[in-house]
Amino acid sequence: MASIIAFGSLTAQPIQDNVIIPVSVTLNSILRMNVTSGGNIEFVVNTMDQYQNGIANTDRYSTTFTVAASLDFDVDLYAETNFIGSDDATHGMTIDNLGYSIEAAGVGGTGLAGTNWNLCGASADPSTVRAVTLSTYSIIESITGNGAGDITQNKFKIKWELGTNGGGGMTTQSLMSQNLASDRYTTNIFLVLSAQ
């Protein structure tokens, strides 16, 4: 006797399951400044010519720094105080004896003034010597949407000079005519990096 097994038509039910995989992205702002050379500037006045005409900029009196930024940025510069004597704190020298100019790209950067940022203001010539002041002065302002970049793009050089009467608010008096006492005069210069 044979058994007959009848199979009806079978409909396969798909097996399905769902899982959720959350994906998130955290973008941390990057805003870093690094002095790569010239982090300590030391002017030594020891000739009559330097007393009368000051000390012009050379690489010895330059500060190179870089900025890595994931967003547009500004850099401001100011002095903490006027120069104060180290041997005798009653000795002083006004900060307007110290001047600076700024350049970019000429020190190996790929950024361009007028394209990525304005140096010392949109209409100013960054090679013009300016006096350091006790008030904050913007030396770099990103052009909206173009300032963010790595240290290859954002590389700058501040060129310092002392007692040159170079204009831009520097004192017109020579170091000699100021009748300054012999001393080692110091102050701190601040570079302040901030997001726009």
- What CATH number did the domain enclosing 56 receive? 2.60.120
Q: For position 79, what pLDDT does the model report?
A: 97
Q: How many CB atoms lie within 10 A of CB 154?
A: 25
CA distance 11 to 14: 9
**And the tokens for 23?**
């994906």
The model's confidence at residue 108, banded by pLDDT at 50, 70 and 90, is low
Q: For position 11, what pLDDT does the model report?
A: 63
Q: For position 104, what pLDDT does the model report?
A: 87
18 DSSP 8-state letter? -
Contact call for residues 83 and 68 (beta carbons, < 8 A): no
Domain count, the chain: 1
The model's confidence at residue 12, banded by pLDDT at 50, 70 and 90, is low
| pLDDT-wise least confident of 65-69, 84-88, 118-122 | 118-122
Q: For residue 183, what are the domain limits?
A: 48-195
3-state secondary structure of 194: strand
Q: For position 107, what pLDDT does the model report?
A: 64
3-state secondary structure of 139: strand
Q: Does the structure show a pLDDT above 60 at 83?
A: yes
Q: Is residue 189 part of a domain?
A: yes
Q: For position 9, what pLDDT does the model report?
A: 55
CA distance 85 to 93: 8
Q: Is residue 191 part of a domain?
A: yes
Q: Is residue 117 part of a domain?
A: yes
Q: For position 113, what pLDDT does the model report?
A: 86
Nearest residue to 196 (alpha-carbon basis) of 69, 23, 86, 16: 69
Q: Is residue 23 part of a domain?
A: no
